[in-house]
Structure 1
Amino acid sequence: MNAQEPGLPRSRQANERLHALVPGGAHTYAKGDDQYPQDLAPVISHGSGAHVWDVDGNRYIEYGSGLRSVSLGHAHPRVTEAVRRQLDRGSNFVRPSVVEVEAAERFLATVPTADMVKFAKNGSDATTAAVRLARAATGRPRVAVCADHPFFSVDDWFIGTTPMSAGVPAQTGRLTVAFPYGDLAATEEVLTRYRDEVACLVLEPATHTEPPPGYLAGLRALADRYGCVLVFDEMITGFRWSEAGAQGLYGVVPDLSTFGKALGNGFAVSALAGRRELMERGGLRHPDERVFLLSTTHGAETHALAAAMAVQATYAEEGVTARLHALGERLAAGVREAAAGMGVGDHVVVRGRASNLVFATLDENRRPSQEYRTLFLRRLLAGGVLAPSFVVSSALTEADVDRTVDVVAQACAVYRKALDAADPTPWMGGRAVKPVFRRLA
């Protein structure tokens, strides 16, 4: 791609076709072209390892692959071969496949803090099932979610709390209350205010910040004291923090947890896991009222479960989590050095665990800025780097990371010019990128 005059005519045409046929022009809002600079939203043709190609023929080093799901790289040979073997044997039957018990055994060996597991196709269904199970087990209506975490489910109990709550009855949204991450006293205040009403505490155990010392153990104690279910959303932390998730790394066991994303390396598979006495409420071997937990036609397709087993084997045998951290540490150090060298070290800020890096773009007053994000993304794309985040895959090479740092340095030089002018507009190339959650299109 020409670093001075990036152009994507075929991608622009494909985006127009998408908008004519698909609401929002993508099947995930975070993939929408409003998340990218104007006329610079590449439509992908194919990917291999840590690289993708758009329909215009441009090649990119890619970060945040598949919204963090493709942690081993695209078309990983071990995963695709496992999938091919199952496709030749059939993918879906009228009764459970033997692959289902093999996948469950493999998952529970990988995440030994859980007693039972049920597979599904997406994280929203798994997390909503956890909420339903907690409500059934406790007989309580309210859900307490961590206010500092951006997304838990497409379902009404969560979406009703966001700026995109159109279509959700107000009374549904009012049943979900919020607590702040890292603040046990504030969480206990919520549990006290809604005493005997909160069915569960739902949170990501870690995100761009590490949990404060004793915090997760403190939440565990609060859940026990107030009789509610502790739910860890491990969609992101699963495998990236450790093969057993954040619960395995930090040694705090939730009642229920949900996994997805990296579990299938891009294939559609998620999991709800947890304590037997809770999970069995969705089964057939208990005396209580039945819970409609998860029941999906495609939830146990053999090829997706084969992908998950291959992913888990690869992580365990090849030390993937350690490699993700090493690559992320190299990238973070390089970006920070490049930003500081161009005088924007206080404005282009890398945050998060090394295996799950994000970046913030701050204006001249050090406030988050979509305008400066637009400028930054535009220069990255011009340099052949597709990076809505800096989340690494294990397919990256050190040369890929070093090339990325070079492109970041070039972007930071332009960023410095915009800061000096106190106006990024001349370098934006059009409208600013948009936040996903907003009331109006």
Structure 2
Amino acid sequence: MDAFELPESRQANERLHALIPGGAHTYAKGDDQYPEHLAPVISHGRGAHVWDVDGNRYIEYGSGLRSVSLGHAHPRVTEAVRRELDRGSNFVRPSILEVEAAERFLATVPTAEMVKFAKNGSDVTTAAVRLARAVTGRTRVAICRDHPFFSTDDWFIATTPMAAGIPRETAELTVGFPYGDLPATEELLTRYEGEIACLILEPAGHVEPPPGYLEGLRRLADRHGCVLVFDEMITGLRWSEAGAQGLYGVTPDLSTFGKALGNGFAVSALAGRRELMERGGLRHDEERVFLLSTTHGAETHSLAAAMAVLTTYVEEGVTARLHALGERLAAGVRAAAASMGVADHVLVRGRASNLVFATLDEEGRPSQPYRTLFLRQLLAGGVLAPSFVVSSALDEADIDRTVEVVAQACAVYRKALDARDPSAWTGGRPVKPVFRRRV
């Protein structure tokens, strides 16, 4: 039997699969993303640590799919939420918190002129696409094909291997462009001259934008009459308090925020130029756009959480702390990998505030079996890390302990490389990619 087992989590996963398709409410949280029978089911969390139903404590990374950037149950956030719970969460007319939250957001992200809140990222990216189509009168959407996810809605999912249930005609309206390649993007815009409503992309990812790239996209969008949309779900707050647009000094027409904005509470935002955003309002003479109209989009406790998050980031310099923690972690992991002779196989990539890792096989190719081995060793050492994305609740002791566990994992990794077969250390089937056509 394995030295590290999760019997209570295993039973809980069976209950989850019996009642919930996929066993989770987000595919990226599915147990197929973890080694077989080693997918912890969480009991609770505090700060940078979580406990599973078996009683194990883990140092956690990538908390809430990058949404919990201040740590679980952050006192300023929970206090703000508690203040609203006894005051009512949803009314027949707007709460005063809606304007206060809008004012706080726009003061933090001054490149935007108006904002509308919703509950998740797909709400607001789809609203941006609809608005772009309305104001341009065009139907095609150009997405950056090097970025993994934009929405659960048909215009994006149609481009993935999980396109079942989506008409082919819908897929044909979405085209792709490569990140960092202005000539290729211009060729796409020329090929579909007058048809593309918007360019939508993450302004930065695991690599920094090439010099002049975002500025060049801005010029291309203007020249070809399409809307430039920055998906700042990940870059928002983690790159700077004002997002990547604030860091790089390039202003999109529309931008979308979420994840870190609520520190785990459900809140997202569509922001942008008044001229465009007002088309979803009541003060214009154009055809109306059904922009965002969600029953729970402005729940008071979620808006209170967002306001507390924005205040905490600005007053406590959270973005700088995320970068400092990430730099310490990246340096430690790289040193540990090098010391065990796997520096060319266990790689750390990305901005310090948004680190991921790659697991490569003997030939230097990305490997799910080696990822499985690595995750298994991390879990056994008390580190829950589908990525190395840090939260500000981590401390230096957490980082140093993580590096120790990584070093132990790399020692096993070296053995598997020498054997040219990781299967003896995977404990079962390898972890699987989220987007795949068959189970």
- Does the alignment reach a TM-score above 0.5? yes
Q: How far is the alpha carbon of 1:13 from its aligned partner?
A: 0.3
Distance 2:109 2:84 in 1: 24
Q: How far is the alpha carbon of 1:235 from its aligned partner?
A: 0.1
Distance 2:159 2:425 in 1: 35
- 2:149 matched to which residue of 1? 151
- 2:58 matched to which residue of 1? 60
Give per-residue Cα distances to partners, 1:242-274, cap 9 Å, x unaligned.
Answer: 010000000000000000000000000000000
- 1:315 matched to which residue of 2? 313
Amino acid at match of 1:290: R
Q: 1:132 aligns with which of 126, 130, 133?
A: 130
Give per-residue Cα distances to partners, 1:369-420, cap 9 Å, x unaligned.
Answer: 0000000000000000000000000000000000000000000000000000
Give per-residue Cα distances to partners, 1:407-441, cap 9 Å, x unaligned.
Answer: 00000000000000000000000000000000001
Q: How far is the alpha carbon of 1:105 from its aligned partner?
A: 0.3
Amino acid at match of 2:125: T
Listed as ranges, the matches of 1:312-391 within 5 Å are 312-391=310-389
- 2:104 matched to which residue of 1? 106
- 1:226 matched to which residue of 2? 224
**SS state at 1:240 partner:** coil
Q: 2:283 aligns with which of 276, 282, 285?
A: 285
- 2:243 matched to which residue of 1? 245
Listed as ranges, the matches of 1:5-84 within 5 Å are 5-84=3-82
Amino acid at match of 2:110: P
Amino acid at match of 2:88: G
Distance 1:20 1:291 in 2: 41
**SS state at 1:360 partner:** strand
Distance 1:241 1:351 in 2: 15
Q: How far is the alpha carbon of 1:88 from its aligned partner?
A: 1.1
Listed as ranges, the matches of 1:381-420 within 5 Å are 381-420=379-418
- 1:91 matched to which residue of 2? 89
Q: How far is the alpha carbon of 1:8 from its aligned partner?
A: 0.4
**SS state at 1:223 partner:** helix
Give per-residue Cα distances to partners, 1:209-233, cap 9 Å, x unaligned.
Answer: 0000000000000000000000000
Distance 1:218 1:421 in 2: 48
Q: How far is the alpha carbon of 1:95 from its aligned partner?
A: 0.1
Distance 1:50 1:123 in 2: 24
- 1:301 matched to which residue of 2? 299
Distance 1:168 1:408 in 2: 42
Give the ranges of 4+ consecutive aligned residues of structure 1 lying more than 2 Å apart after TM superposition: none
Unaligned runs of 5+ in 2: none
Amino acid at match of 2:372: T
Q: How far is the alpha carbon of 1:14 from its aligned partner?
A: 0.3
Distance 2:238 2:308 in 1: 16
Amino acid at match of 1:92: N
- 1:259 matched to which residue of 2? 257
TM-score computed with the length of structure 2 as normaliser? 1.00
Give per-residue Cα distances to partners, 1:354-380, cap 9 Å, x unaligned.
Answer: 000000000000000000000000000
Give per-residue Cα distances to partners, 1:7-36, cap 9 Å, x unaligned.
Answer: 100000000000000000000000000000
Distance 1:212 1:433 in 2: 33
Distance 1:306 1:322 in 2: 23
Amino acid at match of 1:7: E
CA RMSD for the aligned pairs?
Answer: 0.7
